Amino acid sequence: MKIEVNRVKQDQFEIVIEDQRLAVDHDGLARLNREIGDHLDPGARDARHERHERFLERLRSANNTGIQALLRTAAHDDILVLLHSSEDNAQLKQKLYGNMSNNSMKLYVEDLLFQFRKGVPGYRFDEAMVRLIETAEILVGDGALNFDGKES
């Protein structure tokens, strides 16, 4: 079976399987990649989920200045994913929103209602969590973030 993936434009790809062509954008290609990876290695999905859950749990005990640094440093869309994933965790939700200005809080709440009405697609959650964990690790290395709740 012949399979090709070609970039057509900046954010447009074409998947060719035998003689059939399918146009997809970056998000579609990322979702396909995640789905294929999950089928080929289901254990990786479980390990990824555990790592994300540990990170979210550790954030609950993070120092406030570290949370503020994370909120300033991470990408807006990644923070949206983080806020959405805290909806069922009152302590984490309070920690995150409690370290925002009123204007930031209003902006994020409006964006959450607009972007994630139907939830966060799994591949977007995974991508955002990877970036958030990497950002948090940098902040820990810089001494700005710690998970024992002690302010520096």
pLDDT per position in the chain (152 positions), as tens? 899 999 999 989 999 999 899 999 988 888 888 888 888 888 888 888 899 999 999 999 999 999 999 999 999 999 999 999 999 999 999 999 999 999 999 999 999 988 888 888 888 899 999 999 999 999 999 999 999 877 76
The whole-number pLDDT of residue 152 equals 64
- Each domain of the chain, given as residue ranges in start order, spans 1-40, 44-152
Q: What pLDDT digit, counting tens, does each position of 55-99 carry?
A: 999 999 999 999 999 999 999 999 999 999 999 999 999 999 999
Which class is 44-152 in CATH?
Answer: mainly alpha
Print the SS3 string covering the chain: CCEEEEEEECCEEEEEECCEEEEEEHHHHHHHHHHHHHHHCHHHHHHHHHHHHHHHHHHCCCCHHHHHHHHHHCCHHHHHHHHHHCCCCHHHHHHHHHCCCHHHHHHHHHHHHHHCCCCCCHHHHHHHHHHHHHHHHHHHHHCCCCCCCCCC
The whole-number pLDDT of residue 41 equals 86
